[in-house]
Homo-oligomer: A and B are copies of this chain.
Amino acid sequence: MVPAMVDPRGEVPVYRQVAAMLRARIADGTWPPGAALPSEPDLAAEFAVGRDTVRDSLALLRAEGLIETRRGFRTRVREPQPLQAVPVAPGVTVSARMPTPEERRKLDIGDGVPVLVIGGEVYPADRFAGEGTSTKLR
């Protein structure tokens, strides 16, 4: 494990420094998809910061869709899911936004996962993708 160092007097807030290092470890495969991160108290001890600061950094990664947290469980790196294609016929509009609380509940959408709106229909973006088509399907 690379020695972790944060600079409390740096221009970048400590929780963003911590987030950057955690992000780097996810990117370089130290914690591959599905792997559990160290507990919040352990991370706080390693970086010599308060647990709340660690939680702030984890909140960043969660909002980016990089990790999943559940009460009682260890925090885990999100695993990419296969994307199901949704046809995008000529003239059809495709937009994206964050889901409403109701959509999040009904469609079981995790934190940091947007929705695709294709022709008025709402699709969780971690499970669906649009694909342009030449003929209009119906």
Which A residues contact B (CB, under 8 angstroms)? 20, 23, 59, 63-65, 83, 85, 88-101, 111-116, 118, 125-126, 129-134
A134 near B94 (CB under 8 angstroms)? no
**Among candidates B83, B88, B114, residue contacting A130 with C-beta atoms closer than 8 Å:** B88
A and B contact pairs by CB, cutoff 8 A, 25 listed: A63-B111, A64-B98, A64-B100, A85-B93, A88-B132, A89-B132, A90-B133, A90-B134, A91-B131, A92-B132, A93-B129, A93-B131, A93-B132, A94-B118, A94-B130, A94-B132, A95-B125, A95-B129, A96-B115, A96-B125, A97-B125, A97-B126, A98-B112, A132-B133, A134-B134
